[in-house]
Amino acid sequence: MNRQHHQDEIIEGREITLTIFRYDPNNKESKPHYQDYKIAETPGMTLYIALINILTRIDHDLSFDFVCRAGICGSCAMVVNGKPRLACKTLTSEFTDGKITLLPLPTFQHIKDLSIDTGTWMNAMSVKVESWIHSKEQVDISKLEKPIEPEVADEVFELDRCIECGICLASCSTRVMREDFLGAVGLVRTARFAIDPHDERTDDDFYELIGDDDGIFGCMSLLGCEDHCPKDLPLQTKIAYMRRKMVEVK
């Protein structure tokens, strides 16, 4: 094999097959089905790149979500060979047989093909858990914010890394069974404010928000959320933290 032929082989790569769920709920003629797309794999190809390749070269009607392409926005979450993942952070080379099946995340409103609406649910969750600092103190934005201990700040900022991708919910058995279950994203959101000393809410206040089967007591601790979280957040640790606090409320 000459050098030029070897380079061409690397550039072209192997042929991979993406089997993609297709369905448009707003089109009465559309029926749920799978469609196969065969494309040439390139070095460092992610599922996002593969989908863009299909969209621009093969099927302009394919729908999926993306924004940042860097694992920050969470928009491209989908089910990949049975597991929820971020398309922009998943390499096609991980699948040795070259066969990849893609479906939209469950539990969210389906828009079309791989596209879902996570925003409506996430906004409702934020309102339900009152996802903002509760304080009677008047804030003067011209002055420095009240300082907190660095280790506490780190603990709060760690939970703020959540990108609301919905993967924890798609991995959660309780969420599949209970439509109003807050899931790890909602429960950890309350932990973030319970830890933050700027928030003046009591455990009783948080109990009113999450002290039921749609909240902290609905979690079955199956660890699906933590196993699949793309940001490796300490979900179970913080859920356990909130459960201990809520159990102590009388």
Contact 183, 170 (CB under 8 A): no
Domain end point (choices 70, 88, 117): 117
Question: Is there a single domain that holds both residue 134 and residue 89?
Answer: no
Question: Is there a single domain that holds both residue 124 and residue 60?
Answer: no
Question: Is there a single domain that holds both residue 161 and residue 197?
Answer: yes
Burial 14-29 (b: 16+ CB within 10 A, else e): eebebebbbbbeeeee
Question: Is there a single domain that holds both residue 134 and residue 238?
Answer: yes
Question: Is there a single domain that holds both residue 237 and residue 164?
Answer: yes
Question: Is there a single domain that holds both residue 102 and residue 11?
Answer: yes
Q: What is the pLDDT of residues 29-84, one digit of tens each?
A: 999 999 999 999 999 999 999 999 999 999 999 999 999 989 999 999 999 999 99
Say what the pLDDT of residue 7 is. Answer: 37
The domain that contains 189 carries what CATH number? 1.10.1060.10
Structural domains in the chain (count): 2
DSSP-assigned letter for residue 212: S
Question: Is there a single domain that holds both residue 214 and residue 233?
Answer: yes
Radius of gyration of the chain from its Cα atoms, rounded to whole angstroms:
22
Contact 93, 45 (CB under 8 A): yes
Question: Is there a single domain that holds both residue 145 and residue 107?
Answer: no
Instruction: Assess whether pLDDT exceeds 60 at residue 1.
Output: no
Domain end point (choices 117, 137, 160): 117
> Using CA atoms, how far apart are residues 40 and 36, in angstroms rounded to an integer?
13
The domain that contains 15 carries what CATH number? 3.10.20.30
Contact 117, 111 (CB under 8 A): yes
Give the domain extent around 132.
119-247
Phi then psi for residue 69, to 5 deg, are 65, 15
At 26 the three-state DSSP class reads coil
Question: Is there a single domain that holds both residue 198 and residue 216?
Answer: yes
Q: What is the pLDDT of residues 113-160, one digit of tens each?
A: 999 999 999 999 999 999 999 999 888 889 888 888 999 999 999 999
Domain end point (choices 117, 145, 163): 117
Q: Is 229 exposed, middle or buried (0-12, 13-18, 19+ CB in 10 A)?
A: buried
Question: Is there a single domain that holds both residue 150 and residue 138?
Answer: yes
pTM to 2 decimal places? 0.88
Per-residue pLDDT, averaged over 185-206, amounts to: 96
Question: Is there a single domain that holds both residue 166 and residue 224?
Answer: yes
Question: Is there a single domain that holds both residue 45 and residue 145?
Answer: no
Distances from the Cα of 42 to the Cαs of 45, 93, 152, in angstroms?
5, 9, 44
